[in-house]
Amino acid sequence: MKLINHEEVNTLIKQYGKYKVLDFTISKYSDNLIGYLGEHLKLTVTVEANGVQSDYKFFVKCMPKEQWLADFLTKSNFFLKEYVMLSDLFVKFDQYGGSKWRPKSLLIRKDLFVFEDIKELGYQMFHQQGVLNYEEMKAVVKTLAKFHAQSFIYEEKMSRELQRPYRIWEDFSEHLKETEELKWRNTGRNAVIDFLKVNSKRKSETNFSKMSGN
């Protein structure tokens, strides 16, 4: 059984125009590790229009081949969370417009996601041991700000439509809350809090412990 079939590829390519799909291949996206919670592949689609052939390249994230890791992702609902966000919540965000802050998702299944390949748009993978410079940090913060702005816009629009205060948590709490299996992420958060307790200029303020998460 193929990871992705010809019909799905045709549906994907239709988003770019009236092309005839001649062939498609799936290969390893990178020799370097670019993520722990899924397998990352490259989909290359050869198309033809008016006698001219061209290639489209896409980024694929899917359930890993390693059974133990696939079982972990299934048990933790990690893939299901991402599926719900991509197929439902983020679609709702897009309905209300706003600045682009994430790669366009082109095909969404519960076990596989296909996105535009941002490397083809000029972006580069940042080395995990590198340090962001000022301009790169600004870009990260601006992207996060766009994401949060869209969530606030969505809640405000829904509140007006429902004529009452609305929060995303109402419909997505099951998928937003952390599971026991993924609480290792708290280690990073706690490290930052401990650092602030020692080095923050505001550590002597009365409500500092509350602000730092305790």
Based on its alpha-carbon atoms, the radius of gyration of the chain, rounded to whole angstroms, reads: 21
Strand locations in the chain, DSSP E? 20-28, 39-49, 52-62, 105-109, 112-116
Domain identity same for 164 and 204? no
The pLDDT, as a whole number, for residue 179 is 61
- Do residues 12 and 44 make contact, with C-beta atoms less than 8 angstroms apart? no
Residue 182 has pLDDT above 60, yes or no: no
Residue 196 has pLDDT above 80, yes or no: no
Domain identity same for 29 and 54? yes
The pLDDT, as a whole number, for residue 180 is 58
**pTM, full prediction:** 0.77
Q: How far apart are the C-alpha atoms of 95 and 114, rounded to whole Å?
A: 20
Residue 60 has pLDDT above 60, yes or no: yes
Q: Is 1 within the bounds of a domain?
A: no
The pLDDT, as a whole number, for residue 24 is 96
Task: Provide the domain count of the chain.
Answer: 2
Which domain does 138 fall in, by range?
A: 6-177
Domain identity same for 200 and 156? no
The pLDDT, as a whole number, for residue 44 is 97
28-39 confidence digits (pLDDT tens): 988 776 777 788
Domain identity same for 127 and 197? no
